[in-house]
Amino acid sequence: MSASFDSDVDITVEIALDSEPFASSQSFTDISSYVRFFDISRGRSNEFGSFNAGILSFTVSNQDNRFNPANTSSPYYDSVNSRTKLQPLKQVRVKATYDSSTYTIFRGFLEAVPVVFVAEGADSIVTFQAIDAFRLFQNQSFQSVGWRIGRAGFSELGQSTRLGYNDSQELSSARVSRILNSMGFPSALRSIDTGTKQVITQGLTTNVLTGLRECETAENGQFFIDREGKATFRNRAYKFTNTKSTTVQATFDNSGSNLPYTDVQLGFDDNEVINNYSWTRSGGTTQFIADSDSIQRFTPINSSETTININDADVAGIIQQKLSETAIPIIRIDSLTINPRQNTSIWEHALGRDLGDRIKVNITNPDSSTFSDELFIESVSHSVSASTQSWQWIMTLSPASSSSWVLGQAQLGIGTRFAYA
């Protein structure tokens, strides 16, 4: 049974109460009719950092006490094993159906089940916290003892012994797949681009998420969990070659000509400036690159990294591209706030757009001047309430790199920057 959050959209919230976290087939239980509101946040604050774990918070009515883990009479109590089914790390999924199309807008794992009784027992609610697969990656470490799901003699999920093996030299994407294979992460929940950069032979003794992010850095790509719960690795060419990144997927403005927005925020500050890079691959020679004009204007703003690339030239190429994007701050559109209920044409984008998709925003100012830019989606958040029938969709944005500056065609520093492919 779907929840009534909007007359145009049906929401389904499900927990896989009877399945283990990484089981190949998940049996979901629909709890939608009890959900009062939910919030989803996924992505990163800007294009310069790593992606964060996606987070879901949803509050359910608990007036019949079914969501109390201590209630042995709950329909969610496992009487055979004498324990609640509302266990941490059970998979959670939020789906939305609009115009006969169903979109998964979050998939992750339960973290906490806090029960709250309010108004002297007149009401009870539970606000569940869930997080995407990054939580599992953060909690796993490579150790000398191997681990497999469902294998006798190996550690169980949630323990700290993990993934002991040595890697040979291979593509960044092969290393990502090797890591995911070794922790038993389902192949159905992956979207892995073929990498373009080789990474070094190494014995992995670090945190799993750190190992995955090392591949992301060496590739100069992206690694995150998408809205369907898939571990997603994009190579460095993705934003220059994939249609969703090279072609505008939706246009928003405040003039009534395109899809409407409720609020837009511009940014122009030194937080986006890095003008002095010194990166070193393991066992290699430090590669330096700097922009003297930027340093003179803004002082040195440094970036230092150690990468797992196999040669110095790859490192030099990465920081050359990064410097072209970060030396000079530009006036940019940082975020866009949208009410999908304002126009039904927005729904397919509010539900279907994901990180890295390209959109266009047109702004008409009170003095009739205009500003326009094409942008990549860096983060997505939804704040949704059944009682108030409200839905707020917010995107954090970054300038699209292919909006490069060409002499005589645009003004450097005004919505454009150098592009490096």
Ordered per-residue pLDDT tens for the chain, 421 residues: 555 667 889 999 999 999 998 888 999 999 999 999 999 999 999 998 899 999 999 999 999 999 999 999 999 999 999 999 999 999 999 999 999 999 999 999 999 777 777 666 678 889 999 999 998 898 887 653 343 333 333 334 444 444 445 567 999 999 999 999 988 899 999 999 999 999 998 776 678 999 999 999 999 999 999 999 999 999 999 999 999 999 999 999 999 999 999 999 999 888 889 999 999 999 999 999 999 999 999 999 999 999 999 999 999 999 999 999 999 988 899 999 999 999 999 999 999 999 999 999 999 999 999 999 999 999 999 999 988 889 999 999 999 964 433 333 344 444 444 443 3
* Domains held by the chain: number: 4
Note the pTM of the prediction, 2 decimals.
Answer: 0.88
- What confidence score (pLDDT) does residue 120 get? 63
Does residue 80 sit in the same domain as residue 37? yes
Alpha-carbon dihedral angle through residues 210, 215, 217, 220, given to the nearest 10 degrees: -150
Instruction: Report yes or no: 110 and 130 within 8 Å, Cβ to Cβ.
Output: yes
Residue 212 placed within a domain: yes
Does residue 197 sit in the same domain as residue 303? no
Where does a domain end: 98, 132, 166?
132
Does residue 115 sit in the same domain as residue 142? no
Which residues, other chains included, contact 89 with Cβ-Cβ below 8 Å and sequence gap of 6+?
21, 109, 110, 136, 157, 158
What size, in residues, is the chain?
Answer: 421
Identify the residue whose tokens are 């571990």. 231
Does residue 223 sit in the same domain as residue 258? no
CATH number for the domain spanning 104: value is 2.40.10.10
CATH number for the domain spanning 176: value is 3.55.50
Residue 19 placed within a domain: yes
Q: Which two tokens stand for residue 353?
A: 């757009």
Instruction: Report yes or no: 181 and 132 within 8 Å, Cβ to Cβ.
Output: no
User: How far apart (Å, rounded) are the C-alpha atoms in residues 259 and 144?
Assistant: 54
SS3 assignment for the chain: CCEECCCCEEEEEEECCCCCCCCCCCCCEECHHHEEEEEEEEECCCCCCCCEEEEEEEEEECCCCCCCCCCCCCCCEECCCCEECCCCCCEEEEEEEECCEEEEEEEEEEEECCEEEEHHHCEEEEEEEEECCHHHHHHCECCCCCCCCCCCCCCCCCCCCCCCCEECCEEHHHHHHHHHHHCCCCHHHEEECCCCCEECCEECCCEHHHHHHHHHHHHCCEEEECCCCCEEEECCCHHHHCHHHHCCCCEEECCCCCEECCEEEEECCHHHCCCEEEEEECCCCCEEEECHHHHHHHCCCEEEEEECECCHHHHHHHHHHHHHHHCCCCEEEEEEEECHHHCHHHHHHHHHCCCCCEEEEEEECCCCCEEEEEEEEEEEEEEEECCCCEEEEEEEEEECCCCCCCCCCCCCCECCCCCCC
Judge residue 25's burial from the number of C-beta atoms within 10 Å of its C-beta, 0-12 exposed, 13-18 middle, 19 or more buried.
exposed
Distances (CA, A) of 240 to 137, 249, 413, 418: 29, 15, 21, 14
Residue 411 placed within a domain: no
pLDDT tens by residue, 338-356:
999 999 999 999 999 999 9
Q: Which domain holds residue 364?
A: 242-266+331-399
- What confidence score (pLDDT) does residue 8 get? 87
Residue 176 placed within a domain: yes
Does residue 275 sit in the same domain as residue 218? no
Residue 414 placed within a domain: no
User: How far apart (Å, rounded) are the C-alpha atoms in residues 72 and 226?
Assistant: 36
Does residue 316 sit in the same domain as residue 388? no
CATH number for the domain spanning 363: value is 2.40.30
If we measure between CA atoms, which residue out of 43, 58, 41, 68 comes closest to residue 5? Answer: 58
Does residue 184 sit in the same domain as residue 110? no
Does residue 207 sit in the same domain as residue 229? yes
Residue 83 placed within a domain: yes
Does residue 299 sit in the same domain as residue 368? no
Strands 198-199 and 190-192: what pairing?
Answer: unpaired
Residue 408 placed within a domain: no
Does residue 128 sit in the same domain as residue 52? yes
Residue 419 placed within a domain: no
Does residue 115 sit in the same domain as residue 36? yes
CATH number for the domain spanning 301: value is 3.30.1920
Strands 101-112 and 29-30: what pairing?
Answer: unpaired
User: How far apart (Å, rounded) are the C-alpha atoms in residues 401 and 146?
Assistant: 42
Does residue 250 sit in the same domain as residue 392? yes
Q: Classify residue 160 as left (phi > 0), alpha (psi -120 to 50) or beta.
A: alpha
If we measure between CA atoms, which residue out of 180, 208, 219 comes closest to residue 310? Answer: 219
Q: What are phi and psi of 377, to 5 degrees?
A: -80, 120
User: How far apart (Å, rounded) are the C-alpha atoms in residues 176 and 208?
Assistant: 10
